[in-house]
Amino acid sequence: MARLPRLTSAGVQAVIPRSVDFAGFRGEAAVGTTMSQTFDQMSDFLYKTAQKESVEAGLERVRTEGAQPILEAMRAQGGPQGLEEETAYKAANKIAVAEIQTEAELEIAKILTDGQNNKTPYSAIQSQLKSVSDGFPAALSDIDPVSAALLRNNLQGKTEKQD
């Protein structure tokens, strides 16, 4: 900045300002940060609570409506939508797999008992066992292909033991 000779001779000098203290602004920023962290904690708590309630509602829906009706309804709508339906779908899948496997094992036991009581030829029993070990996993493959493959292996193991 250029010095004006007239002001200098009059004894007027430019005052250099002291460093500005932003303590008030730092305090307000700290309060804002604390509020932000508190809101984060509250929203995280609310999200986890809502998530837990959705999971519980999905499991309750499977308990009240049953596995097969839920799977059919979700297949008709194009799959599960939302956490509640996703939980219900997974639980219904597991229940349906267990129900189908139990039903298949009961059918195998019935075929073997009827074959023994009626003295059914061995080839007829084998064809009936093969239809069970192929038919039930085929029905399950619509619901869960991985479980269908496991069921097929389990049932083939059970039917081969009967040979």
pLDDT of residue 89: 85
**150 found inside a domain:** yes
**29 found inside a domain:** no
pLDDT of residue 139: 77
Q: Measured between alpha carbons, how far is 91 from 61 in angstroms, rounded to an integer? A: 10
Burial of 102: CB neighbours in 10 Å, binned 0-12, 13-18, 19+? exposed
pLDDT of residue 38: 95
Say which residues have a Cβ less than 8 Å from residue 61's Cβ, sequence separation at least 6: 70, 84, 88
Burial of 54: CB neighbours in 10 Å, binned 0-12, 13-18, 19+? middle
**58 found inside a domain:** yes
- Give the pLDDT band of residue 129 (cuts 50, 70, 90): confident
**132 found inside a domain:** yes
Total domains, the chain:
1
Q: Measured between alpha carbons, how far is 95 from 145 in angstroms, rounded to an integer? A: 15
pTM for the structure as a whole: 0.61
Over the stretch 1-41, which tens digit does the pLDDT of each residue have? 555 555 555 566 667 777 777 777 888 888 999 999 999 99
- Give the pLDDT band of residue 162 (cuts 50, 70, 90): low
Say which residues have a Cβ less than 8 Å from residue 85's Cβ, sequence separation at least 6: 58, 74
Sign of the alpha-carbon torsion through 143, 145, 146, 151 = positive
Domain span at residue 91? 46-161
**7 found inside a domain:** no
pLDDT of residue 10: 56
**32 found inside a domain:** no
Of the candidates 66, 126, 129, the one whose C-alpha atom is nearest the C-alpha of residue 99 is: 66
- H helix intervals, 16-82: 23-65, 67-77
